[in-house]
A and B are shown apart, each in its own frame.
Chain A
Amino acid sequence: MEPDKDNANPTILNASDLPSRRRESSVKQREDGGTGLFDHLIPHYNYLSDPFERPVSASDSDDDSVEDIDEQEIYDLISSISDPEHPLSLGSLAVVNLPDIRILPPSSPHSTISTVVVEITPTITHCSLATVIGLGVRVRLEQALPPRFRVDVRIKKGTHSTDEAVNKQLGDKERVAAALENGTLMGVLRKMLSTCE
């Protein structure tokens, strides 16, 4: 193990113990999904440029119905993200855990906006990479989920020494947008997300 790692001996879960429905994810990948995700540094919404590809009002399309996306699917999207300092997935390091993922339905019948809340558990309480991991989870979900989902990524309470400060950063869309225009940081994120299908 390299000595400069924050946590040189993390606990690793066996892949067969990870939560799974034992089937392929039915979340449809967008055209900008996968490894070509960050060809453009600025987040953009491909599907909007083609109104016929995904009609706004269509309620019969697969990724438009509320029932279609559940916690397991969110887990599948983010558990395969690689840890920035270990060649392991966030799922196997128990950084993301199925019970810490919640989907909140629209709060009003007039609204179609659902909220995904993901609480991440850094491997150690002072892990300096918690912000980067959180950013990776937020970016992954914002790119993979339909835009009607708001993504709130937080550090699980009590698992990190500066969780409030990290949560504030992860919740600030302007900071996240600016971070995505930062080449160095994008390099790290690109590597983390390269293991996502």
Chain B
Amino acid sequence: MPPPQNASVITIQPLATLSPPCSSRTWQSTPHPTLPVIATACSDRTVRVYSLTSFTLLHSITGGHKRSIRAVSWKPGVKGQSVLATGSFDASAGIWRRDERGLAEDTQRERAGDWDGDEEGEDDDYQFSCILDGHESEIKSLSWSPSGQYLATCSRDKSVWIWEELEDDNFETIAVLQEHEGDVKCVAWHPEEDLLASASYDDTVRLYKEDADDWVQVAMIDGHKKTVWWVEFEGSEMSARDFRAHREGLSEQRAHHVEQLERSGPRLATSSDDCSVRIWRRKPREGSAQTSSRLGMPNIIRSVAIDEEWFQETILPQQHERAIYSLSWSRRSGMIASAGSDGKILVYKERWKNVMPNGVKADGTVDHSDSDAMEGVENASLTEWVVVAELFSAHDVFEINHVCWAKRSDKGRRSEDEEVIVSTGDDGEVKVWVLEER
């Protein structure tokens, strides 16, 4: 399918507001990795777990934290139970568990629309499991690694901690990373490697890897001019799903670009108080070095073996007017959604840059002349990001603290892989949005 030439082809339509809402600020909502539920971190010291099928409240997790809950993260790859980590302004992280073995039944009843939480006993609730103490001040973000082996937390105390769960409820601190010079706002894991990224009040992003039992900084990204609020990796193998999936008739230059992107691996997106969203890309290693690190061969000289070079690939169209608190990179379509203080939700899509009118085969010469001004050998100008949807006042006049993609699970779902956008605001509301082709 040829990419749309008209940028505004999609509208963002309201589907539901999760009910009942919180009466104070909500910070973040994270969809469960497998179930149609979403957990919301609230400033009233609770986590609310809502159904994405009925859009109603299923569970309130209370009584653990002494201050606002700022962040929530589901542990991936757990069978038979749900495990949720909570990060709070009280400087601690909590681990909560719920037995999901009666899940099939629950899901059926939810779908039938007669869910009634009151009938459930206490066993049905999320049980407090353990507390992770160590940070000196507010936890701002936390994230499980894709394998579920590690949990990363970050704080105003300028540090990033990595915890490993040795056995149930026995967490060991395996790293305390103190590279940042200011509050650490967000942590995120690479989808394929044990590579951790952190974004900070010091305007930088840092990347860390394990090197001979020690976690070390392997790259520093310096480009934003103000606080970096959010960092997130691209999904795994997205070139098979997004605009790059169609390989027929690609010019040699474009085919080379796709190949280079695949060698770089998933890219990194960041959003900042400087009102920009930026995409960063790893410089592929030359031949054998890349292979040996992939195979996990021991590397003797650390600086050569493990340091990475990340460069700015592009800045997304700048249509936010205030701090961008959050972005989300769709694992299904490759589109990016962003939101922040100006109350807007923007959706961006990447496409081949067509210098010639649609239908004319853009050959190498056209693209090349256009890219002369670009620095470096990486030809970033072969593609461009366009805003495909823009929604003002998504939470009335309130700020939006978080935005994410989630699998659509309600009755109105139009396809197996349809997605919704979920936004979380200062008004205490969590809203679900669908994209409609215009």
Binding site for B on A (CB under 8 A): 42-45, 48-49, 56, 107-108, 110-113, 146-148, 150, 168, 171-175, 177-178, 181
Whether B25 contacts A181 by the Cβ 8 Å rule is no
Known A174-B185, A181-B67, A181-B68; judge A43-B396 contact (CB<8 A): no
Whether A178 contacts B156 by the Cβ 8 Å rule is yes
Whether A181 contacts B89 by the Cβ 8 Å rule is yes
Whether B201 contacts A173 by the Cβ 8 Å rule is no
Q: Is the interface of A mostly helix, strand, loop or mixed?
A: loop
Known A43-B43, A48-B427, A48-B428; judge A173-B393 contact (CB<8 A): no
Whether B138 contacts A178 by the Cβ 8 Å rule is yes
List the A side residues contacting B67 at CB < 8 Å: 178, 181
Give chain B interface residues in 79-102, CB to chain A under 8 Å.
89
Whether B392 contacts A110 by the Cβ 8 Å rule is yes
List the B side residues contacting A45 at CB < 8 Å: 23-24, 426-428
Taken together as a complex, chains A and B put the C-alpha atoms of A42 and B342 apart, in Å, by 22
10 residue pairs bridging A and B, Cβ less than 8 Å apart? A42-B43, A42-B68, A43-B43, A45-B24, A45-B428, A107-B321, A171-B273, A174-B185, A175-B183, A178-B137
Whether B23 contacts A44 by the Cβ 8 Å rule is yes
Q: Is B355 an interface residue (CB 8 A)?
A: no
By beta carbon, the residue of chain A nearest B401 is A173
List the B side residues contacting A177 at CB < 8 Å: 25, 43, 68, 89
Which of A43, A49, A112, A174 counts the most B-chain CB atoms under 10 A from its CB? Answer: A174
Give chain B interface residues in 123-164, CB to chain A under 8 Å.
137-138, 140, 156
Taken together as a complex, chains A and B put the C-alpha atoms of A171 and B275 apart, in Å, by 13
Count residues of chain B with CB under 8 A from any CB of chain A.
34
Whether A172 contacts B227 by the Cβ 8 Å rule is yes
Taken together as a complex, chains A and B put the C-alpha atoms of A45 and B26 apart, in Å, by 12
Taken together as a complex, chains A and B put the C-alpha atoms of A175 and B67 apart, in Å, by 13
Interface string of B160-194 (1 = CB under 8 A from A): 00000000000000000000000101000000000
Taken together as a complex, chains A and B put the C-alpha atoms of A110 and B399 apart, in Å, by 15
Whether B393 contacts A112 by the Cβ 8 Å rule is yes
By beta carbon, the residue of chain A nearest B140 is A174
Which of B25, B43, B140, B343 contacts A113 (CB under 8 A)?
B343
Kindly provide the distance from the CB of B46 to the nearest chain A CB, expressed in whole angstroms: 11
Taken together as a complex, chains A and B put the C-alpha atoms of A112 and B398 apart, in Å, by 10
Taken together as a complex, chains A and B put the C-alpha atoms of A150 and B399 apart, in Å, by 9
Whether A147 contacts B397 by the Cβ 8 Å rule is yes
Q: Is B244 an interface residue (CB 8 A)?
A: no
Q: Is B341 an interface residue (CB 8 A)?
A: yes
Whether A111 contacts B43 by the Cβ 8 Å rule is no
Known A111-B342, A174-B140, A181-B67; judge A168-B428 contact (CB<8 A): no
Kindly provide the distance from the CB of A1 to the nearest chain B CB, expressed in whole angstroms: 35
Kindly provide the distance from the CB of B137 to the nearest chain A CB, expressed in whole angstroms: 8
Q: Is B44 an interface residue (CB 8 A)?
A: yes
Q: Is B322 an interface residue (CB 8 A)?
A: yes
Known A172-B227, A174-B140; judge A56-B341 contact (CB<8 A): no
Kindly provide the distance from the CB of A179 to the nearest chain B CB, expressed in whole angstroms: 10
By beta carbon, the residue of chain A nearest B273 is A171
Taken together as a complex, chains A and B put the C-alpha atoms of A52 and B393 apart, in Å, by 20
List the A side residues contacting B322 at CB < 8 Å: 150
Whether A147 contacts B398 by the Cβ 8 Å rule is yes
Which of B137, B227, B397 contacts A112 (CB under 8 A)?
B397
Taken together as a complex, chains A and B put the C-alpha atoms of A168 and B426 apart, in Å, by 20
Taken together as a complex, chains A and B put the C-alpha atoms of A112 and B273 apart, in Å, by 21
By beta carbon, the residue of chain A nearest B342 is A113
Instruction: Kindly list the 10 A-B residue pairs having the minimum CB-CB distance in the complex, ordered from nearest.
Output: A148-B397, A44-B24, A110-B392, A178-B138, A181-B67, A42-B43, A178-B89, A147-B397, A49-B23, A42-B24
List the A side residues contacting B44 at CB < 8 Å: 42, 44
Kindly provide the distance from the CB of A104 to the nearest chain B CB, expressed in whole angstroms: 10
List the B side residues contacting A178 at CB < 8 Å: 67-68, 89, 137-138, 156
Taken together as a complex, chains A and B put the C-alpha atoms of A87 and B156 apart, in Å, by 33
Whether B227 contacts A168 by the Cβ 8 Å rule is yes
List the B side residues contacting A171 at CB < 8 Å: 273, 323
Interface string of B40-54 (1 = CB under 8 A from A): 000110000000000
List the A side residues contacting B89 at CB < 8 Å: 177-178, 181
By beta carbon, the residue of chain B nearest A115 is B322
Kindly provide the distance from the CB of B411 to the nearest chain A CB, expressed in whole angstroms: 27
Taken together as a complex, chains A and B put the C-alpha atoms of A56 and B395 apart, in Å, by 11
Taken together as a complex, chains A and B put the C-alpha atoms of A78 and B426 apart, in Å, by 23
Give chain B interface residues in 16-73, CB to chain A under 8 Å.
23-25, 43-44, 67-68, 70
Whether B341 contacts A173 by the Cβ 8 Å rule is yes
Whether A175 contacts B156 by the Cβ 8 Å rule is yes
List the B side residues contacting A172 at CB < 8 Å: 183, 201, 227, 273
List the A side residues contacting B24 at CB < 8 Å: 42-45
Kindly provide the distance from the CB of A106 to the nearest chain B CB, expressed in whole angstroms: 10
Taken together as a complex, chains A and B put the C-alpha atoms of A61 and B392 apart, in Å, by 22
Question: Other CB < 8 Å A-B pairs besides A45-B428, A168-B201, 13 of them?
Answer: A44-B44, A45-B426, A107-B321, A110-B392, A112-B397, A113-B343, A172-B227, A173-B399, A177-B25, A177-B43, A178-B68, A181-B67, A181-B89
